[in-house]
């Protein structure tokens, strides 16, 4: 038990809706959920990628194609999914670059996918979980949801927003058997938005693997832990320090070349916004 009447959720046999399954970290999370015995609902924009992942997992998952940037897409996806025991809100857009480099349409897409869709999915799915007295919500945020840097204006806004939403939701449902976890990955190697850029990090800045992020998702579901950082010690310490001393940490980021790295990442992600 983790506060209130929350009950730990055993993955085996649970119906889990996973968004963002057609790219990035989605595959690693889907494999971990399937390996744990969950009934996985794979959702994403690219049907071909979802079908390939379904085949890889022995045809067990169900595929639900959805573009979460479309109006009403979150509510429509919840209707398609039906009764869901666990939501893993993983879909996200990079939204990187200075705010005046983003078009109004790009701003709206990032807000829709990164923040509006998880909120709408939660609104649609939580009542059923509360009625059953069991369930879990996992929101895949980012360490940029704890500390902002150059070029992360909009992305950090959506990820900070997700953290705030989850914190309030946790208090709303804590005595109703429903758990809420936020996972905060840092730079992830191999798969995901950062890995796809091909940008080299500065010396001493480490990464984490997609499998480590997936393991954190499962740990959140099974233990009810409120927040889980998936980042090297130095980055975790930096995020903690930024909460109490944002000015000095921002200055340190600048000295370590954060502006240059952010510009490289934004340029590489321009077509994905």
Give the burial string for 186-225 (b: 16+ CB within 10 Å, else e): bbbeebbbbbebebeeeeebebbbbbebbbbbbebbbebb
Q: Is 155 a catalytic residue?
A: yes
Furthest-apart CA pair in the chain: how many Å? 52
Q: Per the structure block, which two tokens stand in for 82?
A: 């039906």
DSSP state for residue 188 in the 8-state scheme: B
Q: Per the structure block, which two tokens stand in for 194?
A: 């950062």
| Amino acid 188: pLDDT | 77
Instruction: Catalytic residue, from 139, 155, 187, 194: name it.
Output: 155
| Amino acid 121: pLDDT | 98
Q: Which of 67-71, 162-166, 238-242 has the lowest mean pLDDT?
A: 238-242
User: Residues 13-21: what's their mean pLDDT?
Assistant: 97
Angle at 256 between CA 264 and CA 155, to 5 degrees: 50
Q: How deeply is 61 buried, as exposed, middle or buried, from its count of CB atoms within 10 A (0-12, 13-18, 19+)?
A: buried
**Class of domain 15-272 (CATH, top level):** alpha beta
Separation between Cα atoms, residue 261 and residue 255, nearest integer Å: 12
Model confidence pLDDT, tens digit, residues 89-136? 999 998 878 899 999 999 999 999 999 999 999 999 999 999 999 999
* Residues with Cβ within 8 Å of residue 13, at least 6 apart in sequence: 37, 38, 39
Q: Per the structure block, which two tokens stand in for 89?
A: 């809100």
DSSP H or E stretch at residue 42: strand 39-44
Q: Is 23 left (phi over 0), alpha (psi -120 to 50) or beta?
A: beta
User: Residues 128-152: what's their mean pLDDT?
Assistant: 92
Q: What is the pTM of this model?
A: 0.85
Q: How deeply is 237 buried, as exposed, middle or buried, from its count of CB atoms within 10 A (0-12, 13-18, 19+)?
A: exposed
Separation between Cα atoms, residue 1 and residue 258, nearest integer Å: 41
In whole angstroms, how large is the CA radius of gyration of the chain?
18
Q: Phi and psi (nearest 5°) for 141?
A: -95, -130
Separation between Cα atoms, residue 150 and residue 68, nearest integer Å: 27
Q: Specify the 3-state DSSP secondary structure of 15.
A: strand
Model confidence pLDDT, tens digit, residues 216-270? 999 999 999 999 999 887 777 767 766 666 666 566 555 555 555 565 555 555 5
Where residue 4 falls among pLDDT bands split at 50, 70, 90?
Answer: very low
In 3D, which of 269, 237, 231 has the Cα closest to residue 252?
237
| Domain spans in the chain, listed from the N-terminal domain onward | 15-272
Q: Specify the 3-state DSSP secondary structure of 83.
A: coil
**Between residues 37 and 209, which one has the greater pLDDT?**
37
| Amino acid 24: pLDDT | 76
């Amino acid at each position: 038990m983790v506060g209130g009447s929350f009950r730990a959720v055993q993955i085996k046999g649970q119906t889990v809706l996973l968004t963002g399954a057609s790219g990035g970290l989605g595959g690693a999370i889907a494999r971990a959920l399937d390996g744990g015995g969950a009934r996985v609902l794979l959702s994403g924009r690219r049907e071909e990628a979802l079908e390939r992942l379904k085949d890889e997992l022995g045809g067990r998952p169900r595929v639900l194609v959805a573009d979460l940037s479309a109006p009403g897409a979150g509510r429509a996806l919840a209707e398609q999914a039906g009764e869901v025991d666990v939501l893993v809100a993983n879909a996200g857009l990079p939204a990187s670059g200075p705010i005046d480099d983003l078009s109004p349409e790009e701003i709206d897409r990032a807000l829709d996918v990164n923040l509006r869709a998880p909120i709408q999915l939660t609104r649609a799915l939580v009542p059923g979980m509360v009625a059953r007295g069991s369930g879990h919500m996992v929101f895949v945020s980012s360490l940029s949801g704890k500390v902002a840097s150059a070029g992360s204006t909009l992305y950090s806004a959506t990820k900070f927003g997700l953290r705030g939403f989850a914190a309030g939701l946790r208090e709303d449902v804590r005595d109703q058997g429903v758990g809420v976890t936020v996972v905060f990955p840092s730079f992830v190697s191999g798969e995901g938005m950062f890995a796809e850029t091909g940008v080299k990090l500065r010396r001493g800045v480490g990464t984490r693997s997609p499998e480590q992020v997936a393991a954190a998702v499962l740990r959140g579901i099974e233990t009810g832990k409120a927040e889980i950082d998936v980042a090297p010690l130095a980055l975790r310490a930096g995020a903690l320090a930024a909460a109490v001393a944002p000015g000095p940490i921002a200055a340190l980021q600048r000295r370590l070349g954060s502006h240059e790295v952010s510009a490289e990442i934004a340029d590489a992600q321009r077509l994905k916004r």
